[in-house]
Amino acid sequence: MEFLSFVIFLIIATVLGVVLMLISNFLGQKKKIVRTNDVYESGVNPVGSATRQYDIKFYLTAILFLLFDVEIVFLLPWALAYNNTQNTGFMVAGFVFFMVVLLVGYIFVINSKSLKWEE
């Protein structure tokens, strides 16, 4: 039942988006001149392709996010389970170890200065 509700919601949301997007296809002005469909680069002819090499820091941000995100997602079930267990001391000891390792990693990242955008 929950899944069915979700699917119905998803379908209605998608259909809504499609309908909204098609409206201006029907109602919009159709008159086109040659320059309408040109690329917008502040009135200058574009130089080179848009898919070029960008700064490695974007990539680094993404991969560091992935690693930290996985660690924090590990903590979500931990936070849920903590409240259902008797063995809280054991749980907290594990948590402290987990966080210490996470902090070591974090300090390493900051010290390596790889996240400094300003040279």
Partner 1 sequence: MLEGILEILIKTVVILGIPLGALPIIIHVERRGAGFIQRRLGPNRVGPFGLLQPLADVAKFMFKEEVHPTHVRPFFYSLAPLVALTVALLPLACIPIMAPLEINGRTIYPEVFRSDMGIFYAFAVSALGSYGILLGGWASNNKFSMLGALRACAQMVSYELSLSTSIVAMIFLYGTNDIHLMVAAQTGYWFGFLPKWGFFIQPLAAMLFLVGIFAESNRLPFDLAEGESEIVAGYHLEYSSMKFAIFFMAEYIHMIALSALFIILFFGGYSILPGLDLIPQSPIITPILQMGSLIFKIAFMIWFFVWVRWTLPRFRYDQLMDIGWQRLLPLGIINLIATVLITYFRNQ
Partner 2 sequence: MISDILLTIITMVFALMVVFSKKTVVSALALLMTLLSIAMIYFQLGTLFLAAIQVLVNAGAVAILFVFVMMLINLEQFENNREKGKVKLVISVLAVLVIMGIFALIINNNIEVLTANNIPDNSMKLLFDKLFSVYYLPFEMATVLLLAALVACIVITGHEKAHKVELEESHE
Binding site for partner 1 (CB under 8 A): 1-6, 8-10, 12-14, 16-18, 20-21, 23-25, 27-32, 36-42, 46, 49-52, 54, 57-58, 61-62, 65, 68-69, 72-73, 75-76, 79-80, 82-84, 88-89, 92, 95-96, 99, 102-103, 106, 109-110, 115-118
Q: Look at residues 116, 71, 76 and name the one whose alpha carbon lies nearest to residue 98.
A: 71
* Three-state SS annotation for 67-105: HHHHHHHHHHHHHHHHCCCCCHHHHHHHHHHHHHHHHHH
Least Å distance, CB 29 to partner 1, is 4
Residue 96's φ and ψ, nearest 5 degrees, are: -65, -45
Rounded CA-CA distance 94/81 in Å is: 13
Our finding on whether 97 is near partner 2 (CB under 8 A) is: yes
Rounded CA-CA distance 67/108 in Å is: 13
Least Å distance, CB 111 to partner 1, is 11
**The entry of partner 2, partner 1, none that residue 87 binds, CB within 5 to 8 Å by partner kind:** partner 2
Measured from the CB atom, the residue of 23 and 62 that comes closer to partner 2 is 62
Joined together, the tokens standing for residue 9 give 């919601």
Span near partner 2 by CB under 8 A; candidates 13-21, 22-30, 32-40, 92-100: 92-100
